């Protein structure tokens, strides 16, 4: 929801960052890889009980993830770049969940439920994107929903910072994902029939 509706407010900063990195010779794919490496360290910082750094690298990688898409649209977007971007996004999320699961094993069952819901939500999202004739600003149809990447980062942040309430926050995140799945399935039924 925030990705769809708040993008216009952060886009000027993203544009400046994209232009700066392009002027320094970076490509969209290289920034995608840098964002991935930074984001993957979040799970390590969680495990090492360094919540500030875990949150910082998570959000910095997320910012670079937005910048790389803008860089791609300013140059030449590629299907390979889209695949890298989507795959690396999931791996960063997995890093956070695995870091939390190893640091707080008593919440592992809730984190497993969350993982399953993310898999289902992404399956619906990607399948609708592949099957839809609609096009958006990205290289495929982008289905909006209650839980998009920014909401996920906000909830991951709460999970990292307020670890005493990890199971409750994780179950709330799970419920948000279920609502998002239902939203996307309802829209898919409408546009794919």
* CATH code, 109: 1.20.120.1760
Structural domain that includes position 165 = 2-192
Question: What is the band of 11 on the pLDDT scale with cuts at 50, 70, 90?
Answer: confident
Cβ-contact 35, 68 below 8 angstroms: yes
Question: For the stretch 107-124, what's the b/e string if a residue is b when 16 or more beta carbons lie within 10 angstroms of its beta carbon?
Answer: bbebbebbbebbebbbeb
**How much is the pLDDT for 5?**
62
Looking at the chain, list the stretches that DSSP marks H as alpha helix, in order from N- to C-terminal side: 2-23, 28-47, 51-74, 79-103, 108-131, 149-161, 166-192
What is the rounded CA–CA span in Å between residue 31 and residue 54? 19
Residue 162's CB is within 10 A of a number of other CB atoms, namely 12
**pTM (global) more than 0.85:** yes
Could you tell me the end-to-end alpha-carbon distance of the chain, in angstroms, rounded to an integer? 24
96-151 pLDDT, tens digit each: 999 999 999 999 999 999 999 999 999 998 888 888 776 555 556 666 778 788 89
Q: How many domains, in total, are found in the chain?
A: 1
Over residues 157-183, the pLDDT tens digits come to: 999 999 999 999 999 999 999 999 999
Give Cα 50 to chain centroid, integer Å: 21
SS (H, E, C) 116-153: HHHHHHHHHHHHHHHHCCCCCCCCCCCCCCCCCHHHHH
pLDDT in the model for residue 117: 96
Mean pLDDT of the 71-75 span: 93
Mean pLDDT across 60-78? 93
* 3-state secondary structure at position 11: helix
Of all residues in the chain, what percent carry a pLDDT higher than 90?
A: 73
> Residue 65 pLDDT > 70, yes or no?
yes
């Amino acid at each position: 929801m925030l990705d769809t509706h708040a993008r216009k407010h952060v886009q000027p900063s993203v544009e400046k960052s994209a232009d700066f990195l392009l002027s320094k010779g970076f490509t969209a794919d290289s920034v995608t890889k840098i964002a991935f490496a930074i984001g993957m360290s979040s799970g390590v910082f969680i495990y090492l009980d360094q919540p500030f750094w875990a949150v910082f690298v998570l959000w910095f990688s997320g910012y670079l993830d937005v910048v790389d898409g803008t860089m791609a649209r300013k140059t030449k977007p590629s299907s390979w770049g889209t695949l890298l971007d989507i795959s690396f996004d999931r791996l960063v999320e997995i890093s956070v969940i695995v870091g939390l699961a190893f640091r707080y094993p008593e919440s592992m069952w809730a984190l497993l439920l969350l993982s399953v819901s993310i898999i289902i939500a992404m399956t619906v999202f990607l399948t609708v994107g592949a099957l839809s004739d609609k096009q958006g600003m990205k290289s495929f149809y982008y289905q909006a929903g209650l839980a998009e990447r920014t909401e996920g980062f906000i909830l991951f942040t709460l999970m990292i910072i307020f670890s005493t309430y990890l199971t409750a926050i994780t179950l709330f995140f799970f419920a948000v994902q279920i609502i998002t799945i239902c939203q996307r399935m309802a829209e898919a039924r409408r546009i794919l029939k």
